[in-house]
């Protein structure tokens, strides 16, 4: 595996750590900025909306830039946003900072995944994508707890300074360790890249990704209250359970990466069916502590870990260029927003188990979006065996 693939994972780790830092420091940030807890929560929404809507636009702006130069430019924008957050004098400044970092993060995902495709052979591309996406899994597993720890010990601004330092390290590693490649064939031509979205099949593929992530985040967003108020765990135990969940995502992501190159559609089908089963089991047995943990870890193994198969499927349906990757990341972000919002609405009307049932329903809908590909399985198998131009 090229060294540059691991460096791309480090960059994504920095981006994801910045994305999650607010969630762990809400009370301190609210006090420091003179804001309410709900207002600090809106910073998470603003970050996600900026990723989903602004990321593709920034990708278009950088379309004619060579990949490594584009990554360094995105690091500079990301660093600027985090420094602005670290020195924010009020809520409005912090809101602007979160929008800046959100836009840069989403564009970084798109460019990094495109460069990963350029750096690796088609037959191992799914495995390489899994390595890059481990930056996301480790950001969840380690980045959020560590940034929370720094913020709790040294103040919430220190967390943003730490992330800024991490971004500088990742940028320097990119400068030294990522080769100076030209754009892949077809990159830089806006009309050509936009043409990929004229295919109806691509939109169905993107919808599958939204439903996979929506199913997972409808549950994940509310693990804390479910585990404490339904399963009966003490508040202090929940962080340990979430670390175990994060470890499960790393294991699942690695396994999916090794399988995705052969048949991503089969991997997605199995993952969705298992996720629907785990979420259903969790909903039925959430009042029992041991089954609740088992099913929660099951969701960790087959939820967000479908990313390598999702990305490989998108590449084989369209291409592996930055715009397609960034738009795909936007659809994944929509899944996060839909799952967390829908889970909250479900709790208000039906109680704390409702997000688990919602997640199971979204997973079933995800299976249905695979039906057209499953019906033409022989053709799909032949297509999966063929490399796709980056």
**Which pLDDT belongs to residue 98?**
94
Banded model confidence at residue 313, pLDDT cuts 50, 70, 90? very high
Residue 243 neighbours by CB distance under 10 Å: 14
C-alpha closest to that of 183 among 7, 330, 320, 2: 320
Q: What is the mean pLDDT of the chain?
A: 88
Of 3.90.1010.10, 1.20.1250.20, 1.10.150.20, 2.120.10.10, the CATH number of 193-384 is 1.20.1250.20
For residue 389, what pLDDT band results from cuts at 50, 70 and 90?
very low
Half-sphere exposure of 385 (CA within 13 A, CB side): 6
Please say if the pLDDT value at position 79 is more than 60.
yes
**Residue range 243-266, pLDDT digits in tens:** 899 899 989 999 999 898 889 999
158 has pLDDT over 50: yes
CA–CA gap between residue 236 and residue 243 (Å, rounded): 12
User: Residues 339-374: pLDDT tens digits?
Assistant: 888 888 888 899 999 999 999 999 999 999 999 998
- Residue 329 pLDDT greater than 50, yes or no: yes
* CATH architecture for the domain at 3-183: Up-down Bundle (1.20)
pLDDT recorded at residue 385:
45
- Higher-confidence position of 224 and 234: 234
Please report the pLDDT score of residue 144 as a whole number: 75
Q: How far apart are CA 27 and CA 156, in angstroms?
A: 10
303, two tokens: 């939820």
pLDDT at 186 over 60: no
Which of 177-181, 209-213, 227-231 has the largest mean confidence? 209-213
Give the pLDDT score at 388.
47
Do the domains 3-183 and 193-384 sit in the same CATH topology, yes or no? yes
pLDDT over threshold 80, residue 137: yes
pLDDT at res. 220: 85
Q: Is the pLDDT of residue 48 over 50?
A: yes
Written in H, E and C, the secondary structure of the chain is CCHHHHHHHHHHHHHHHHHHHHHHCHHHHHHHHCCCHHHHHHHHHHHHHHHHHHHHHHHHHCCCCCHHHHHHHHHHHHHHHHHHHHCCCCHHHHHHHHHHHHHHHHHHHHHHHHHHHHHCCHHHHHHHHHHHHHHHHHHHHHHHHHHHHHHHHHCHHHHHHHHHHHHHHHHHHHHHHCCCCCCCCCCCCHHHHHHHHHCHHHHHHHHHHHHHHHHHHHHHCCHHHHHHHHCCCCHHHHHHHHHHHHHHHHHHHHHHHHHHCCCHHHHHHHHHHHHHHHHHHHHHHCCCHHHHHHHHHHHHHHCHHHHHHHHHHHHHHCCCCHHHHHHHHHHHHHHHHHHHHHHHHHHHHHCCCHHHHHHHHHHHHHHHHCHHHHHCHHHHHHHHCCCCCC
| pLDDT band of 386, cuts 50, 70, 90 | very low
In sequence order, which residues have a C-beta less than 8 Å from that of residue 143 and are 6 or more positions away? 13, 16, 17, 20, 21
How far, CA to CA in Å, does 141 sit from each of 92, 181, 189, 225, 246?
30, 32, 38, 19, 5
Domain boundaries defined on the chain = 3-183, 193-384
51 pLDDT more than 70 = yes
What pLDDT, on a 0 to 100 scale, did the predictor assign at position 194?
Answer: 85
Report the pLDDT value the prediction gives residue 26, as an integer from 0 to 100.
79
Residues 373, 366: Cα–Cα separation, whole Å: 12
Chain centre to alpha carbon of residue 266: 21
pLDDT at position 134 over 70: yes
């Amino acid at each position: 595996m090229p060294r540059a693939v691991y460096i791309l994972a480090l960059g994504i780790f920095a981006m994801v750590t910045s994305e999650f830092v607010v969630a762990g420091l809400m009370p301190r940030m609210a006090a420091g900025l003179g804001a309410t807890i709900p207002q600090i929560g809106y910073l998470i929404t603003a970050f996600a909306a900026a990723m989903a809507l602004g990321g593709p636009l920034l990708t278009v702006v950088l379309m004619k830039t060579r990949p490594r130069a584009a990554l360094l430019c995105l690091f500079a924008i990301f660093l600027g946003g985090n420094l602005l957050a670290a020195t924010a004098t009020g809520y409005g400044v912090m809101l602007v900072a979160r929008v800046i970092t959100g836009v840069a993060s989403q564009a970084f995902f798109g460019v990094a995944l495109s460069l990963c495709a350029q750096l690796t052979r088609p037959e191992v591309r799914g495995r390489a994508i899994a390595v890059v996406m481990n930056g996301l899994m480790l950001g969840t597993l380690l980045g959020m707890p560590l940034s929370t720890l720094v913020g709790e010990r040294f103040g919430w601004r220190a967390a943003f300074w730490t992330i800024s330092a991490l971004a500088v390290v990742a940028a320097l590693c990119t400068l030294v360790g990522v080769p100076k490649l030209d754009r892949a064939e077809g990159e830089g031509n806006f009309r050509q890249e936009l043409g990929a979205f004229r295919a109806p099949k691509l939109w169905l593929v993107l919808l599958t990704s939204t439903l996979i992530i929506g199913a997972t985040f409808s549950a994940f967003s509310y693990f804390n209250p479910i585990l404490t108020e339904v399963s009966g765990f003490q508040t202090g135990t929940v962080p340990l359970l979430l670390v175990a969940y994060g470890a499960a995502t790393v294991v699942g992501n690695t396994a999916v990466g090794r399988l995705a190159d052969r048949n991503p559609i089969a991997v997605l089908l199995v993952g969705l069916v298992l996720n629907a089963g785990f979420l259903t089991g969790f909903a039925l047995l959430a009042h029992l502590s041991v089954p609740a943990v088992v099913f929660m870890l099951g969701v960790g193994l087959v939820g967000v870990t479908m990313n390598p198969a999702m990305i490989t499927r998108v590449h084989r349906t369209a291409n592996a260029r930055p715009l397609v990757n960034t738009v795909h990341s936007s659809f994944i972000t929509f899944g996060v927003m839909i799952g967390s919002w829908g889970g909250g609405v479900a709790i208000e009307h039906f109680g704390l188990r409702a997000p688990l049932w919602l997640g199971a329903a979204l997973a079933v809908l995800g299976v249905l979006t695979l039906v057209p590909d499953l019906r033409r399985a022989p053709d799909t198998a032949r297509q999966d065996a063929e490399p796709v131009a980056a």
